[in-house]
A and B are shown apart, each in its own frame.
Chain A
Amino acid sequence: MARTVWDSTVGKKTVMAVSGVIMLLYLVAHVIGNLKIFFGAGEFNHYAHWLRTVGEPFMHYEWTLWLVRIVLVAAVAAHATSAYQLSRRDLRARPSKYVHKKPRASYATRTMRWGGVILGLFVVWHILDLTTGTAHPGGFQEGHPYQNVVDTFSTWYGNVVYIVAMLALGLHVRHGFWSAAQTLGVGSRTRDRALKTLANVLALLLTAGFVAVPVGVMTGVVS
């Protein structure tokens, strides 16, 4: 069955949809966690520490966190691999362009591929910046995420990279969520409007929620 799914364009789209939904669920949890930064260093740092102790005593320290990380890396790998293979196929299927060009499809639809690449690169920077601290401006302090976040968003490039990536995320979710519903066969004529609205609301809330943090640092609400 795995073979038939992976060999089919419809199957690869299913892989994309499922992995996309997994990442989307993670993002919803992520944005809720991020917003705790507005309640002070104490609450934010406590929340960050809790992430490592989730599931104790059944799970050992950081086990749950690593489980989530493994699932996410698998989802990203599956999503990117199927996107790459499907895109290659799509470009081969339409080698010659029309002489008479017309603006086609919505902006969100047309930017799915490059938007996805931008998001992938962003995730690499984001992890190097705030998880490992490798690319962190100033001194990265393990166990002090509040200060680390403030440091990152005190640089102009930190703000630019982050906000551009979050706008790309909004566009990606807008077309991606609705598309995933169609791929998984959940969409229908009667549900279409509700699904499109839900996609837009999700995209808007995620982008606004994530962007609120750098804006908070820039305006001095978070310092």
Chain B
Amino acid sequence: MKLTLRVWRQKNAGAEGAMSTYEVDGISPDMSFLEMLDVLNERLILAGEEPVAFDHDCREGICGACSLVINGDAHGPERTTTCQLHMRSFRDGDTIDVEPWRASAFPVIKDLVVDRSAFDRIIQAGGYVTAPTGSAPEAHATPVPKADADFAFEHAECIGCGACVAACPNGAAMLFTSAKVNHLNVLPQGAPERETRVLDMVAQMDAEGFGGCTLAGECATACPKGIPLVSITSMNKEWLRATRKAAGGR
């Protein structure tokens, strides 16, 4: 395959960026999108040019490190992570636009790499349980209804990649935050911090400068793990409940 890539190049956080055009040849349809970028980078290095910086780690679709807005879609045209996107999803001779996540809470560090530590601070605000750690407890010690376990697991699938923020027209982190809140709030292990968790995580999300939700639904469409839009509704419900409780209601 022969492709034309238009890639966002930006020297550092303070520099002005721009799209640069590259031609890549000899791309196999079985390569992943990141392997295609590796090929581009090898050639750039051999030509004495600066390689394109992009985030990646496990390349198995489970770590949430890779990003990239490809032709206007977070993680590209398939509903998966960029590392699991293969070049067979494109056609020979295509022009592909590659851009970083765009959100003021995710500033560009270099080229296609953005700083996602705002997500870490949202987790630090309440995305944990204060339970003794160590070896796994006996499984029957804390019974969890099947429906709750499924609900928790569905939300626990969130890998925190930030595609929801990148896709959202408001740069909102509602889908990410709701996945983390719902995952723990439905379980007995998360019950002690049920109210403080949702209030603190939403407050941190606001403090990081993410936008608000207008229910455009772009986040859920982009999510490689299929976190549903209704997850946000569940978090809103938890937030209202916690606010009522904090005010002395029931």
A in complex with B: yes
Which A residues lie at the B interface, using CB under 8 A?
1, 4-5, 7-14, 86, 89-102, 104-105, 109-110, 112, 175, 178-179, 181-189, 192
Could you name 11 residue pairs across A and B whose Cβ atoms are closer than 8 Å?
A: A5-B243, A11-B239, A89-B211, A90-B214, A93-B172, A94-B168, A98-B102, A104-B218, A105-B218, A110-B216, A188-B230
Taking a contact as CB atoms under 8 Å apart, the answer to whether A9 and B213 are in contact is yes
Q: How far is the CB of A119 from chain B (nearest CB, A)?
A: 16
**Pairs of residues from A and B, 7 with the lowest C-beta to C-beta distance, nearest first:** A185-B237, A93-B211, A93-B171, A90-B170, A1-B247, A94-B171, A100-B97
Q: How far is the CB of B147 from chain A (nearest CB, A)?
A: 12
Chain A CB within 8 A of B217 CB: yes
Taking a contact as CB atoms under 8 Å apart, the answer to whether A96 and B102 are in contact is yes
Chain B residues, CB < 8 A from A97: 102
Q: Which of A9, A95, A112 has the most CB of B within 10 A?
A: A9
Residues 54-109 of B at the A interface (beta carbon under 8 Å): 69, 71-73, 97, 99, 102-105
Chain B residues, CB < 8 A from A187: 230, 233
Chain A residues, CB < 8 A from B216: 104-105, 109-110
Chain A residues, CB < 8 A from B234: 185
Q: How far is the CA of A189 from the CA of B228 in the complex (A)?
A: 9
Chain A CB within 8 A of B240 CB: yes
Taking a contact as CB atoms under 8 Å apart, the answer to whether A94 and B243 are in contact is no
Chain A residues, CB < 8 A from B211: 9, 89-94
Q: How far is the CA of A4 from the CA of B6 in the complex (A)?
A: 45
Taking a contact as CB atoms under 8 Å apart, the answer to whether B233 and A8 are in contact is no
Taking a contact as CB atoms under 8 Å apart, the answer to whether B214 and A112 are in contact is yes
Chain A residues, CB < 8 A from B102: 94, 96-98
Find A100's partner among B71, B210, B238 (CB 8 Å cutoff): B71
Binding-face segment, B31-39, B125-133, B137-145, B201-209: B201-209
Chain A CB within 8 A of B19 CB: yes
- Majority SS of interface residues in chain A? helix
Chain A CB within 8 A of B152 CB: no
Taking a contact as CB atoms under 8 Å apart, the answer to whether A100 and B69 are in contact is yes
Chain A residues, CB < 8 A from B199: 4
Find B236's partner among A7, A99, A182 (CB 8 Å cutoff): A182
| Contact A13/B72 with A93-B104, A99-B19, A182-B232 known, Cβ cut-off 8 Å | no
Chain A residues, CB < 8 A from B105: 93
Q: How far is the CB of B14 from chain A (nearest CB, A)?
A: 14
Taking a contact as CB atoms under 8 Å apart, the answer to whether B246 and A4 are in contact is yes
Chain B residues, CB < 8 A from A182: 215, 229-230, 232-233, 236
Chain A CB within 8 A of B169 CB: yes
